[in-house]
Structure 1
Amino acid sequence: MNHSRIVRAAAVQISPVLFSRDGTVEKVLSAIADAAKQGAHLIVFPETFVPYYPYFSFIQPPVLMGSEHLRLYEEAVEVPGLVTEEIASAARSHHVVVVLGVNERDHGSLYNTQLVFDADGTLVLKRRKITPTYHERMVWGQGDGSGLKVVETAAGRIGALACWEHYNPLARFALMAQHEQIHCAQFPGSMVGQIFADQLEVAIRHHALEAGCFVVNSTGWLAPEQIEQITPDENLQRVLRGGCHSAIVSPEGKHLCEPITEGEGIAIADLDFSLITKRKRMMDSVGHYARSDLLQLQVNMNAKPVTVNLETDLATDSAIEFTNSGKFLPNPYISVSQAPDK
């Protein structure tokens, strides 16, 4: 592990092309090229940015949101698929690590999914938000523990969580215990107002301090005309403003560049990994400051199994099992429940 390198990170605050997966992907590809020209090694996009965050679910009652929900199904992303191939190609071409939020379609279900592409274009992590928040439960299914892992990339050891998963301290600790160097956070933006932006700033700065890592946070943004597209009701339009805070935070909890709170833009900063050691020298939450004899976390990192088990050869007891298991780096402060590899 390199403890003294410098990595340039970019947090992209951007608006989607509403109701168009292809249009939004074009904006992603353009932003990757722009950030790469500025020397970025890591580029982070907002939560479920492709095709767009389901703002409709926040302002419409379930009985009225059927058509919008179905439209999201039609524009959602299959993994792997054409969208992932395009993003992988861009990552490889510009030699950058890309973290992208998508609405993932898996047959008849949608998921809030975070994708991490390494600088060679390899998809090294696909994780699903473990518990959709409030209105989101009408849109997305639940994720599982297989995505609660940190991955090695050209930019360093990366972990990711979406939105209010940052209020789940055990989920955060599961990543901390795997010694993440860069935590990639994603929020929708353009929701609730300034209080939402204030709260998410507290969350990302606290995680940086507690984990002793960098946090790169990206939020989305809606232009005024897009808010009118989503709803003509002026009372409802008010709750689709504010809540933006794209930022990059050091392990000491300090902003490394000016946060973006309005409009589109790219926040860029250099991450000096020696600051990780500087912070952890005083307080390492999963090392010398931990008390595994008193407090432990157990994580089930098995993928949620499909309910069908197809037996192909009863004579030899061989079978195709629709299950998967994640990989995990052992840590004395965390125990892992995981199925053996088949």
Structure 2
Amino acid sequence: MNDTPAERLTVGLAQIAPVWLDRARTLDKVVAWIERAAQAGCGFVAFGEALAPGYPFWIEHTDGARFESSLQKEIHAHYLDQAVHVEAGHLDPVCAAAARGGIAVMLGIIERPADRGGHSVYCSRVHIGADGKIASIHRKLMPTYEERLSWAPGDGHGLQVHRVGPFTLGGLNCFENWMPLARAALYAQGEDLHVALWPGNLRNTEGTTRFLAREGRSYVLAVSGLMRRQDVPAGSPACAMLASCPDMLADGGSCITGPDGNWLVEPVTGREELLVATLDHREVRRERQNFDQAGHYARPDVTRLVVHRQRQSIASFLDQPMP
């Protein structure tokens, strides 16, 4: 067989804590870890779900479902202010770092998009190519449980895959990785390197990552963030959560499995770390010999999936020039 560098890709998982609810400082930290990954020889680096400016941990600890709560309104207003507005250029430093390092990046953000009015936020996964250009933004299809008190449901526009080295790479946010049809939408496009973004916690990654690899016969990168009591910034309206939150809200759990479902990097918890591994595409081809869910083991004459990838909007404007 051909044993050349073209068959391999070195990847990094940046398991870090955000500078919670501070977009600019968190993105500065992301840039630093992109540079670190590039120096380690990575061609791709991934960050956890909702990293910039952070996951809404306060909801669980501040009576987040209380209607017309002045506290919830205050925190939400601050969250909107610190969310990522792509159209305003907030990701430009991240894109520039990707281009400088020649490294592709997948980053979890809280997006405040102009195309939905600019006052709701979405849990989005951004793919930035090694050329520094944003290739796709996927908005989480369905926020999970209490997340629905903060995030709006997304759409299928970002259910896209991208070529990175010898691999076809896709990714999903958190519980989306448990949605079989969302996974199937990526499989159908030839995905063989899957990124599962999580806000953190071993309980989310330890059981699912190996299964996802075995089902997809793909490499799976589970990348998580960290969040500790000490990361709650003094003076933030979210400090109200300190009365009941534990010392560790998200303990990481980032890990990497091969397409046979075996660990390449076992879950790492409790600390910031760059996890690095070199993946060999030949292993994907070996595992697809007896099972290929979008190819020889599929029955499209019996079951098929329809995926709507239009970006959702509440209005279509049909402008005509004045006579």
**Aligned partners of 1:89 and 1:3: how far apart in 2?**
26
**Aligned partners of 2:155 and 2:121: how far apart in 1?**
14
For the 8 Å contact 2:6–2:166, the answer to whether it is kept is: no
Aligned partner letter, 1:265: E
**TM-score, structure 2 length as denominator?**
0.88
Aligned partner letter, 1:311: D
SS of 1:32 mapped into structure 2? helix
Query: What is the match of residue 208 of structure 1?
Result: 213
Change in CA separation of 1:67 and 1:145 when aligned onto 2, cut-off 3 Å? same
Aligned partner letter, 2:57: Y
- Residues 4-40 of structure 1 show CA distances to partners (whole Å, capped at 9, x for unaligned) of 6100011111011123111111110111111111111
Give, in angstroms, the shift of residue 227 of structure 1: 5.2
Query: What is the match of residue 77 of structure 1?
Result: 84
SS of 1:259 mapped into structure 2? strand
| 2:121 aligned with 1:110 | yes
Give, in angstroms, the shift of residue 234 of structure 1: 6.8
Aligned partner letter, 1:145: G
Change in CA separation of 1:218 and 1:197 when aligned onto 2, cut-off 3 Å? same
| 2:146 aligned with 1:135 | yes
**TM-score, structure 1 length as denominator?**
0.84
Alignment of 1:240-279 (within 5 A): 240-279=248-287
Aligned partner letter, 1:247: C
Alignment of 1:185-334 (within 5 A): 185-189=196-200, 197-226=202-231, 231=239, 236-238=244-246, 240-313=248-321
What is the aligned length? 308
For the 8 Å contact 1:3–1:277, the answer to whether it is kept is: no
For the 8 Å contact 2:9–2:165, the answer to whether it is kept is: no
| 2:34 aligned with 1:25 | no
Query: What is the match of residue 170 of structure 1?
Result: 181
Give, in angstroms, the shift of residue 123 of structure 1: 0.7
| 2:68 aligned with 1:89 | no
Give, in angstroms, the shift of residue 311 of structure 1: 2.7
- Residues 198-221 of structure 1 show CA distances to partners (whole Å, capped at 9, x for unaligned) of 343222221111111111121110
| 2:149 aligned with 1:158 | no
Give, in angstroms, the shift of residue 82 of structure 1: 2.7
Identity of paired residues, percent? 30
For the 8 Å contact 2:61–2:241, the answer to whether it is kept is: no
Give, in angstroms, the shift of residue 152 of structure 1: 2.4
Aligned partner letter, 1:22: A
- Residues 228-262 of structure 1 show CA distances to partners (whole Å, capped at 9, x for unaligned) of 86556677323853552111111111221242111
Q: CA RMSD in A?
A: 2.2
**Aligned partners of 1:166 and 1:180: how far apart in 2?**
14
SS of 2:171 mapped into structure 1? strand
Which consecutive residues of structure 1, in runs of 5 or more, have no partner in the other structure?
190-195, 316-342
Change in CA separation of 1:31 and 1:72 when aligned onto 2, cut-off 3 Å? same
| 2:7 aligned with 1:5 | yes
Give, in angstroms, the shift of residue 156 of structure 1: 3.0
Q: Which of these residues, 97, 102, 121, is aligned with residue 132 of structure 2?
A: 121
Aligned partner letter, 2:140: K
SS of 2:176 mapped into structure 1? helix
- Residues 289-327 of structure 1 show CA distances to partners (whole Å, capped at 9, x for unaligned) of 112222211211222133242332488xxxxxxxxxxxx
SS of 1:101 mapped into structure 2? strand
For the 8 Å contact 2:167–2:281, the answer to whether it is kept is: no
SS of 2:31 mapped into structure 1? helix
SS of 1:303 mapped into structure 2? coil
Which consecutive residues of structure 2, in runs of 5 or more, have no partner in the other structure?
none
**Aligned partners of 1:41 and 1:120: how far apart in 2?**
12
SS of 1:257 mapped into structure 2? strand
